[in-house]
A and B are shown apart, each in its own frame.
Chain A
Amino acid sequence: MSQSENTPHTSIIAQNCEKVNTKITSGASPSTSWVYSDLVKEHFLNPCNFLMGDEAQFACDAIGVVGNPVCGDQMKMFLVIKDGKISDVRWKTYGCASAIAATSALSELIKGKTLDEALTVGPETITAYLGGLPEHKVHCSVLGHEALAAAIANYRKKP
């Protein structure tokens, strides 16, 4: 059962997420000043769905956390699940630009999906959606997928 309707957080989705999503057709155009694609840059500078402020204030049905600050990255996914579908999602990420962008992208990709559908959104899907990531940054998108999988596993474990 969703508890999210009455929380103040339903309105904090970043304004320009739709704009971002209309640009996915051609992927990255090489940018001279950034090592990342334009879409990574967009999602990093204007991330969608991140959980602002105290996470205890956000009512959700499942939480998944992976990574370790000691390794330089940690991700936490907060899912609101309604009728077997992800009706809302928030996240927190400690990490680099591609980690932030990957979580932001993932949060957009899974909204409205059933849990099984959401689980098919793997690192490749996230990376492709972002127009590619530098090779040594691909692991940051893996982490996003793992956080989601952990959240869903936690939800399914619930009695």
Chain B
Amino acid sequence: MLEQSDHPIYLDHAATMPLLPIVKQQMQEALLADYGNASSLHQRGHMAHQIVEAARSQIARLINADPAEIIFTSGGSESNNTVMETFRDRKVAVSAIEHPSVLESAKARASQVTILPVDAEGRVSPADISPDVDLVSVMLANNEIGTLEPLAAIAKHCKKHNIFVHTDATQAFGKIKIDVRTLGVDYMTLSAHKIGGPIGVGVLYVKQGSPYHPLILGGHQENRRRAGTTNIIGIAGFGAAAAWCWDHWSCRKWAGVAKLRNELKQRILQEIPYCTCNTPAEHSLPHILNLSFAAAEGESIQLYLSEQGIYVGTGSACAAGDLRPSHVIMATKHDAEIAHNSIRFALGLDTTEADIERVMQVLPPIIARLRDMSTIKLGEKDVSI
């Protein structure tokens, strides 16, 4: 029935993407070149400086920013924390489905945090934003269910009331076209490892003239905006990944992944009864598919799939370190069981038809087995598609 796969199928690209070959190559080159401290004035320092500035430009052009508006950080989490540090003791509104690095850093620093509700698809409505907040933070795309937020409309609403706007674009970056000018945002978070760059390096875009307060003090680096000796190898990798996205029209490639994602969705909904789709039909990233399988707990599904060489994510409390169900599914579906039973497939550019076929060979018997073991009887609760 269940056969061991010949090659593993990685469907967790929203957690992290494998390094692109060109990224590995350029990071190796940077490693082998005896670079200096990017701040040093001698020749080696200058070499390092050039690597960093090239990367800055490569990332800036992908979002239509000026290189001077790009600040390198240690990742998406630091970028999000930096925005909240800037708005310490101010009034902040964040969506209910933000990444914890937005939610928790806002709660730790702001004088008042308003949680913006989302609809069943995870979308924020600009009308819910109160005019008296100082900052609104709504992600461009959600990492668990893939929802695309109406950011341009949100920013337009905020500008009317002189509210600053931050968007965590960690998941959307490289997948959909992003233009900070037409979006009208003041701050944007990016992370290298979600586009095939290395883990541990990110960017905060800060629009010229927007308020800014560094999170990490004690050095003149990044124009006094982020202290710490520059992470040259990481930044070289981030630059290479951004250049790859630009050169290969990555957004077009990712848009093509939607076909396979939709096929997977259709087949699961047709071949496995009692499933709920948590990813919006429209307004979603092309590669994310989040589904819940009634009566089958997510960590168990995930580990049975892992045993078959298929790697996915889950929103189940059992798989979370803090044993809390996904706040994203709770905010959209308001149902703990749907959260516990959720599985996230995040396809990659190299996912094939054959991979989808293998998932469809392996997944239905796993769900059937877990349902057979489960205390929950199917159909006892109304599960709608």
**A residues engaging B (CB < 8 A)?**
33-34, 44-45, 47, 50, 52-53, 65, 67, 69-76, 92-97, 99-100, 136
Chain A residues with Cβ under 8 A from B318's Cβ? 72-73, 95-96, 99
Q: Mostly helix, strand, loop or mixed at chain A's interface?
A: mixed
CA A67 to CA B376, docked complex, whole Å: 12
Instruction: Looking at the assembled complex, report how far the CB atom of A120 sits from the nearest CB atom of chain B, in whole angstroms.
Output: 25
The reply on B300 being an interface residue by CB < 8 A is yes
Chain B residues with Cβ under 8 A from A95's Cβ? 297, 300, 318
Give how many B residues have a beta carbon under 8 Å from the other chain's beta carbons.
23
| Contact assessment for B307 and A45 in the assembled complex, using a CB-CB cutoff below 8 Å | yes
**B residues engaging A (CB < 8 A)?**
295, 297, 299-300, 303-304, 306-307, 316-319, 321, 323, 325, 336-337, 340, 372-376
Instruction: Looking at the assembled complex, report how far the CB atom of B317 sits from the nearest CB atom of chain A, in whole angstroms.
Output: 4
| Contact assessment for B375 and A96 in the assembled complex, using a CB-CB cutoff below 8 Å | no
CA A152 to CA B318, docked complex, whole Å: 27
| Contact assessment for A94 and B307 in the assembled complex, using a CB-CB cutoff below 8 Å | no
Residue on B nearest A92 in the bound complex, by CB: B375
Chain B residues with Cβ under 8 A from A52's Cβ? 372
Partner of A92 from the list B300, B304, B340, B374 (CB cut-off 8 Å) is B374
Instruction: Looking at the assembled complex, report how far the CB atom of B56 sits from the nearest CB atom of chain A, in whole angstroms.
Output: 38
Instruction: Looking at the assembled complex, report how far the CB atom of B374 sits from the nearest CB atom of chain A, in whole angstroms.
Output: 4
Partner of A72 from the list B297, B304, B306 (CB cut-off 8 Å) is B297
| Contact assessment for B297 and A136 in the assembled complex, using a CB-CB cutoff below 8 Å | no
CA A155 to CA B307, docked complex, whole Å: 39
CA A128 to CA B319, docked complex, whole Å: 22
Chain B residues with Cβ under 8 A from A92's Cβ? 373-375
Instruction: Looking at the assembled complex, report how far the CB atom of A53 sits from the nearest CB atom of chain B, in whole angstroms.
Output: 7
12 further A-B contacts with Cβ under 8 Å, apart from A73-B297, A95-B300, A97-B300, are: A34-B303, A44-B300, A44-B303, A45-B304, A47-B373, A53-B372, A69-B336, A71-B317, A72-B325, A92-B374, A92-B375, A94-B297
| Contact assessment for A94 and B376 in the assembled complex, using a CB-CB cutoff below 8 Å | yes
| Contact assessment for B340 and A69 in the assembled complex, using a CB-CB cutoff below 8 Å | yes
| Contact assessment for B373 and A72 in the assembled complex, using a CB-CB cutoff below 8 Å | no
